[in-house]
Amino acid sequence: MSKKKTIISWALVILAIAAVAFVEARTRSPLPKPTNAPPERSAVEEKPAVKIRAKAPVSPQGNSAQLRIESALITLRTFGFEPNDITRPAGRLLLIVDNRSGSPEMLLRIDRVAGARLREVRIPHKILDWYDILDMTPGQYVLSEANHPDWICHITITPK
């Protein structure tokens, strides 16, 4: 074998070893610790709801149940909520509100249309995003911002 082919062969072997080591190191790295802050999102990014599946503890019979959490990303803009209507099945709902309205403070309210208030939360101007996991039963709900009565998002929760 010529000297040129030998050098190329060794270079390919070294490159392959480096690639394998890199991939192995990436797969073994620990996941970052979760923080209380929601993930950052650009103002342009608009994604539909994400379904999160987490395994529940195994029961004594050996059956494992699936815990399903629906999510909804709602952006508060200068003209109101976007989207202004969402529909999700009954159960746990991760509700994320990104404040891109420029308002100094938000007073978010989640009310059942024919019932009581589920949540009321004051969010200071330093915090742009808010999220919470709510246990939603079937029915009609309204997400509103108290300082702007025309900013409304209708939430429909359907039976599973």
Give the model's confidence band at 10: pLDDT under 50 very low, under 70 low, under 90 confident, else very high. low
99-139 tens-digit pLDDT: 888 888 889 999 999 889 999 999 887 888 899 999 999 99
Strand partners, 153: 143
Specify the pTM: 0.59
What pLDDT does 67 receive?
Answer: 73
d(CA 10, CA 111): 68
What pLDDT does 48 receive?
Answer: 41
Q: Looking at the structure, give the CATH architecture of the domain made up of residues 52-158.
A: Sandwich (2.60)
Q: Which of 113, 105, 103 shows the shortest CA–CA distance to 152?
A: 113
Q: Which of 22, 42, 135, 154 shows the shortest CA–CA distance to 87?
A: 154
Q: Which has more confidence, 86 or 24?
A: 86
Q: What mean pLDDT is predicted for residues 26-40?
A: 48
Write down the domain spans for the chain: 52-158
Q: What is the percent of the chain with per-residue pLDDT over 70, rounded to a whole number?
A: 59
